[in-house]
């Protein structure tokens, strides 16, 4: 396979984007408290954004003759993002802190993909990954700002 390392990273992103979309969905369902009316509908937008990224990453993987993970079992087995059962016991700031950690991880996977696609001279995939990393860092900045913190992009 010509882009073997790139395909591996793309499939990692398939698992991670799927997992993060579920965690955002969980945040949406279990959110209570201050800023609920603002943040609850915002989670719908974030889920849509993650699903759009997932679709583009999966289609790029197929274009490169890869096969995206497509079962819940595969996603759970391969994601690097941990989960926990839903609970109303977590505050909105605690939920946002979890999301910040997960978005930071996602930005790191995008960075790894940028490096690997550069190594394999797959500049079309690299362009996609650069755009998604930039959007992920912006999302991370917004979460951190809501928490009253600096973006901490390079952590």
DSSP 33: S
Domain containing 25 equals: 4-146
What digits encode the pLDDT tens for the residues 34-81?
Answer: 889 999 999 999 999 999 999 999 999 999 999 999 999 999 999 999
Angstrom distance (rounded) from CA 37 to CA 24: 16
Residue 38 lies in a domain: yes
For residue 153, what pLDDT band results from cuts at 50, 70 and 90? confident
CA 101 to chain CA mean position, Å: 10
Alpha helices in 64-122 (DSSP H): 72-78, 92-119
What CATH code is carried by the domain that includes residue 107?
Answer: 1.20.1260.10
Position 148 scores a pLDDT of: 93
> Is the confidence at residue 155, as pLDDT, over 80?
no
Position 125 scores a pLDDT of: 98
> Is the confidence at residue 1, as pLDDT, over 80?
no
Q: Give the residue among 9, 12, 4 at the shortest CA–CA distance from 120.
A: 4
For the chain, the domain total comes to 1
Residue 140 backbone zone (phi > 0: left; psi -120 to 50: alpha; other: beta): alpha
Residue 151 lies in a domain: no
What digits encode the pLDDT tens for the residues 102-152?
Answer: 999 999 999 999 999 999 999 999 999 999 999 999 999 999 999 999 877
């Amino acid at each position: 396979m010509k882009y073997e390392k790139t395909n591996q990273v793309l499939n990692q992103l398939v698992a991670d984007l799927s997992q993060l979309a579920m965690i955002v969905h969980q945040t949406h369902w279990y959110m209570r408290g201050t800023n609920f009316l603002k943040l609850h509908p915002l989670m719908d937008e974030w889920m849509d954004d993650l699903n759009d990224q997932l679709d583009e990453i999966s289609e790029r993987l197929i274009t490169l003759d890869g096969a995206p993970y497509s079962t819940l079992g595969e996603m759970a087995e391969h994601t690097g993002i941990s989960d926990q059962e839903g609970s109303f016991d977590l505050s909105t700031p605690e939920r946002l802190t979890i999301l910040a950690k997960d978005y930071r991880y996602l930005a790191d996977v995008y960075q790894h993909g940028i490096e690997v696609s550069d190594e394999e001279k797959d500049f079309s995939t690299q362009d996609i990954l650069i755009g998604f990393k930039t959007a992920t860092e912006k999302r991370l900045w917004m979460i951190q700002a809501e928490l009253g913190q600096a973006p901490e992009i390079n952590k």
